[in-house]
């Protein structure tokens, strides 16, 4: 049997609709802050959905040279800023002796959609000679990884994951596996997304995936509520620094938590709809639990995928109940998407950060806007107010279009 390395979290960074750094994000989670408002990134007048969860008041110049930032898509800006935050938080140093042992994996469901859209407009109206030479490097979904590696000097295993709304969690899980196997000493990983564009919003609206609660956007993201009518599109990035326990101890790093389990599956069922009964999600949860040798009674919190769509919330509830049986009713389950909206490929990153903050600060973020119970969703969804409690193990679920399912398991370091 191989001698697997234990893997710990030593740095966290976040750019979100409820906070542009870890302190702000933590406060937002504790207070149940609502990050949803009318769209300002473009004129939504002709759109059936006119609201989103935007990142606001982000000071790019603190992290990226203004000339450089103009050559980066918005999703890459978010990813690099969150990566720099996490890297600085970890106290990790990269030099000639260790650069090849430190890598980057940042997932994105869509990549540079803003660049694709704007340059397509230029091509259509002004012709091919006016298309920017930076178009391709700005729009490809691996560029958040590439730019973060360049900024930090990380020359180890680097890649990008694009499994829709599971991308950020897959990136963390894949980085975890590399560290377990001893292929790296540290990994910078998570997700980034910036899809609040005319095409992004129109596409999801046409697919009937979004909420159309234009008269009350602040209550539109209501996971597990009986009157949920779709998700609210969000943007941002969440990044972790993972290290082998040996490497972290060697440099006397502060350790937030340990990642102990990773499960990933595919429904092989439908391009957008989850498998009936949440069987694929349940299989991912079981794999993560088995991977971490976790007893059911050790799980004290589940950060749900919880999109606020009819199909996801019902099927995720079924998935949890199929694994935990009667104990399902004793496990707090909350959706932080009620506050941040749905960051698509970036959601797994900020939700992993939420789990780590929950473990570190012993609280469970709420599911805000929960008013009307749904008989099909009958678990403890931590309605409307955060809850102080001791947490030993936290699970984070992410499910994506194409049937991609991921569950990550985090625990306090024992």
Catalytic member of 5, 49, 165, 377: 165
User: In whole angstroms, what is the distance from residue 44 CA to residue 40 CA?
Assistant: 8
Active site residue 355: no
* DSSP-based three-state secondary structure for 101: helix
Catalytic member of 5, 342, 404, 407: 342
Q: H-helix or E-strand containing 319?
A: helix 310-324
Structure tokens given for 265: 């599956």
Active site residue 189: no
Cβ contact 391:364 at 8 Å: yes
Structure tokens given for 21: 């750094």
DSSP tag of 20 = S
Cβ-proximal residues to 46 (8 Å cutoff; 6+ apart), any chain: none
Q: Where are the alpha helices (DSSP H) in 106-184?
A: 113-126, 135-139, 143-152, 167-180
Catalytic member of 5, 49, 189, 305: 305
DSSP, residue by residue, 227-276:
T---B-BBEEEEEEEEEEHHHHHHTT----EEEEEEEEEE--S-SSSPPG
Cβ contact 259:8 at 8 Å: yes
User: In whole angstroms, what is the distance from residue 146 CA to residue 148 CA?
Assistant: 6
Comparing CA positions, the residue from 306, 326, 296, 280 lying closest to residue 393 is: 296
Active site residue 342: yes
Q: List active site positions.
A: 165, 305, 342
């Amino acid at each position: 049997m191989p001698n697997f390395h234990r893997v710990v979290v030593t740095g966290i960074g976040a750019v979100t609709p409820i906070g542009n750094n870890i302190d702000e994000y933590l406060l937002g989670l504790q207070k149940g802050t609502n990050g949803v408002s009318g769209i300002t990134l473009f004129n939504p007048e002709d759109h059936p959905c006119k609201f989103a969860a935007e990142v606001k008041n982000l000071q790019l110049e603190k992290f990226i040279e203004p000339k450089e930032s103009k050559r980066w898509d918005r999703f890459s800006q978010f990813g690099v800023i969150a990566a720099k935050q996490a890297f600085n938080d970890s106290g990790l140093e990269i030099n000639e002796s260790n650069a090849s042992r430190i890598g980057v994996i940042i997932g994105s469901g869509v990549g540079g959609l803003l660049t694709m859209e704007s340059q397509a407009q230029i091509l259509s109206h002004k012709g091919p000679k006016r298309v920017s030479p930076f178009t391709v490097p700005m729009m490809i979904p691996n560029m958040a990884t590439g730019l973060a590696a360049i900024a930090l000097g990380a020359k180890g295993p680097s890649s990008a994951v694009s499994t829709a709304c599971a991308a950020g969690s897959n990136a963390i899980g894949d980085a975890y596996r590399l560290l377990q196997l001893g292929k790296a000493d540290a990994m910078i990983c998570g997700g980034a997304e910036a899809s609040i564009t005319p095409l992004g919003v129109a596409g999801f609206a046409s697919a009937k995936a979004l909420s159309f609660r234009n008269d009350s956007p602040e209550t539109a993201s209501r996971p597990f509520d009986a009157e949920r009518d779709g998700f609210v599109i969000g943007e941002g990035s969440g990044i972790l620094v993972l290290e082998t326990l040996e490497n972290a101890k060697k440099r006397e790093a502060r350790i937030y938590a340990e990642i102990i389990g990773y499960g990933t599956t595919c429904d092989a069922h439908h391009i957008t709809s989850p498998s009936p009964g949440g069987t694929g999600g349940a299989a991912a949860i079981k794999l993560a639990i088995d991977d971490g040798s976790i007893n059911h009674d050790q799980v004290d919190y589940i950060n749900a995928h919880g999109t606020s769509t009819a199909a996801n919330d019902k099927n995720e509830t079924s998935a949890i109940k199929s694994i935990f049986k009667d104990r399902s009713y004793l496990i707090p389950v909350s959706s932080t998407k009620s506050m941040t909206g749905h960051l698509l490929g970036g959601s797994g990153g900020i939700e992993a950060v939420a789990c780590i903050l929950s473990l570190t600060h012993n609280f469970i973020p709420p599911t805000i806007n929960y008013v009307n119970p749904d008989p099909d969703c009958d678990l403890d969804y931590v309605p409307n107010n955060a809850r102080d409690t001791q947490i030993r193990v936290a699970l984070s679920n992410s499910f994506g279009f194409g049937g991609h399912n991921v569950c990550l398991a985090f625990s306090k370091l024992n």
